[in-house]
Structure 1
Amino acid sequence: MSANTNCILLVEDEKGIRNFILRSLESSGYQVVAAENGREAKEMFLAKCPDLVLLDLGLPDIDGVQLIPILRDWSNVPIIIVSARDQEAEKVRALDLGADDYITKPFGISELMARVRTALRHRGVSAASQPEEDEVFHIKDLVIDMGKHQVMKAGEEIHFTGTEFKSLALLAKHAGKVLTYDFILNQIWGPHAKSDNQILRVNMANIRRKLKENPAEPRYILTELGIGYRMLEDAE
């Protein structure tokens, strides 16, 4: 599996459809986490920081439409509605609330995959905030290669989700500088990201876990309490 594998949150209560979509996504190289109701969807969204959401509307505990503004408060990751509701008014409502695309059941898996690829390509992250494609950052024994979307630590490759990789690259680009919570949220999740920093804290915890970093003795990422994060430079 490549280092730039995107993580997709699949929210679908029908087991057969859920398993079919899950297998199809995984066979295409995506990491997938699945939820069968709104409560699980919110928990997994915050815990996994996905790069895209596939959302069914007919959930057992909440109308999926009600989830759209909740997720949109936290992040601007693409949300694709996958629903049996084919009325134009339903589609307009979902899109007005912040969904990026709408596909009606039954659907062809090739069409769904094409929609997923398109949404990820057009993900709303400012191009100006991203490092140059050919940049390679060296932080102690870390090598972050933007062109290859690859992270190496002491010669061994570490696999990150798309959001995790972008966060790490953003910190590396500004190594030695303090990046505020709001700045990181805006650059990675967009201007509509919720300002309580929960999704950012979870994302950073996932990055540190994969780097096997002890927060008490950080070698790579320093937390500036109440302010933000700073990538340590080689000289520190």
Structure 2
Amino acid sequence: MMKVDSATILIVDDENDILQVIKAYLQKNNYIVYEADSGKGALQLFENLQPDLVVIDLMLPDISGEEVCRTIRKTSDIPILMLTAKSSEDDIVNGLLIGADDYITKPFSPRELLARIISLLRRSHLQPNREEEHALAFGGGRLSINSGLHEVRMDGEILSLTPIEFKLLEILARHPKRAFSRYELVNLIQGDDFEGFERTIDVHIKNIRQKIGDDPKRPSFIATVFGIGYKFQVSADE
């Protein structure tokens, strides 16, 4: 199965077992995944996250999946993949008519679901490994850095980074495991916006760590290299 960089996917289903299976499988394939178990929760997350694709069960406990599709379609043309236990032609056609792009009937395999998602992203020109997007994802998709959008997300939340902080984080993340001295980092980000000397790098690193929730004593992302500077570390499976 082809590998992809980070795209944000919202899964909506009131069956927790299905949610967790889908979430784990998609995260394994480098997607950033968020979940909702109700229609209201789905619409709120959709508004806050603006995901690249939505996977939605048509049978929800409050607002129906059909109504969620209609609401999303009023403001967005992102791909929607519907999950349905109803396999009749009329039910499927109705789901497509209200705005879904594709469907998959329960029970289904995670592998088939992934294939449908990749196909939808390709068709919508939202395939997340496009060169111009320059997207990076780490920590099982928890941290994503998108140079094209100049955007950093942590657990789906867009972070407010200064231009220097963004550039510094991007430099480290694009060269994982490489130790950069403070002097190197100063030279790489030097410009009209940069003020200070080598030790100023420490302040920027401290701010970045606070914003991404990285504990300097037990860092998940930015590690201090004693006597040198800093490096971006990744887990063994990344």
- TM-score (norm. length: structure 1): 0.57
2:161 aligned residue: 212
What do residues 5-32 of structure 1 show as CA deviations (whole Å, max 9, x unaligned)? 0010000001111111111111111111
AA partner of residue 144 (structure 2): H
Alpha-carbon distance in structure 2 between the residues aligned to 1:168 and 1:11: 28
- Secondary structure class of the residue paired with 1:74: coil
Please show how residues 163-174 of structure 1 align to structure 2 within 5 Å.
167-168=149-150
CA distance in 1 between partners of 2:49 and 2:135 (Å): 19
**CA deviations over 1:125-161 (Å, ceiling 9, x no partner):** 7xxxxxx95xxxxxxxxxxxx274469xxxxxx823x
Which of the pair has the greater relative contact order for Cα pairs under 8 Å at 6+ separation?
1
> Identity, % of aligned pairs?
33
Structure 2 residue 31 is matched with structure 1 residue 82 = no
Instruction: Tell me which residue corresponds to 1:56.
Output: 57
What is the alpha-carbon root mean square deviation over aligned residues? 3.4
Partner of 1:102: 103
Task: Indicate how the Cα distance of structure 1 residues 60 and 4 shifts in structure 2: closer, same or farther if over 3 A, else same.
Answer: same
User: In structure 1, how many angstroms separate the alpha carbons of the residues matched to 2:125 and 2:136?
Assistant: 22
CA contact (8 A) 1:69 1:98 kept: yes
- 1:1-236 pair list within 5 angstroms: 4-123=5-124, 133=131, 146=132, 148-149=134-135, 159-160=144-145, 167-168=149-150, 207=158, 209=159, 212-213=161-162
Residues 3 and 150, structure 1, Cα contact 8 Å, conserved in 2: no
Cα pair 1:79 1:101 within 8 Å, conserved: yes
How big is the shift at 1:43?
A: 0.5
Mark the runs of 5 or more structure 1 residues left unpaired by the alignment: 126-131, 134-145, 152-157, 170-205, 221-233
CA distance in 1, matches of 2:81, 2:64: 15
2:179 counterpart residue number: none
Structure 1 or 2, whichever has the larger Rg, is: 2
Q: Write the letter of the residue equivalent to 1:71.
A: I
Q: Distance in 2 between matches of 1:60 and 1:117?
A: 28
Instruction: For 2:110 and 2:144, locate their aligned partners in 1 and report how far apart those are by CA, in whole Å.
Output: 27
Aligned residue for 1:82, secondary structure, equals strand
Residue 122 of structure 1 deviates from its aligned partner by 1.3
Instruction: Name the SS for the 2:103 alignment partner.
Output: strand
Moved over 2 A (4+): 146-151, 164-169
Q: Aligned in 2, Cα 1:30/1:165: closer, same or farther, shift over 3 Å?
A: same
How many residues of Structure 1 are paired with residues of Structure 2 in the alignment? 157
Give ranges in structure 2 of 5+ residues lacking alignment: 138-142, 152-156, 168-190, 194-238
How much does 1:96 deviate? 1.1
Cα deviation 1:42-85 (Å, max 9, x = unaligned): 01001111110000011000221111110111211100001101
Q: Which amino acid aligns with 1:49?
A: Q
3-state SS in 1 of match to 2:74: helix
Letter in 2 for 1:18: L
Paired residue secondary structure (2:51): coil
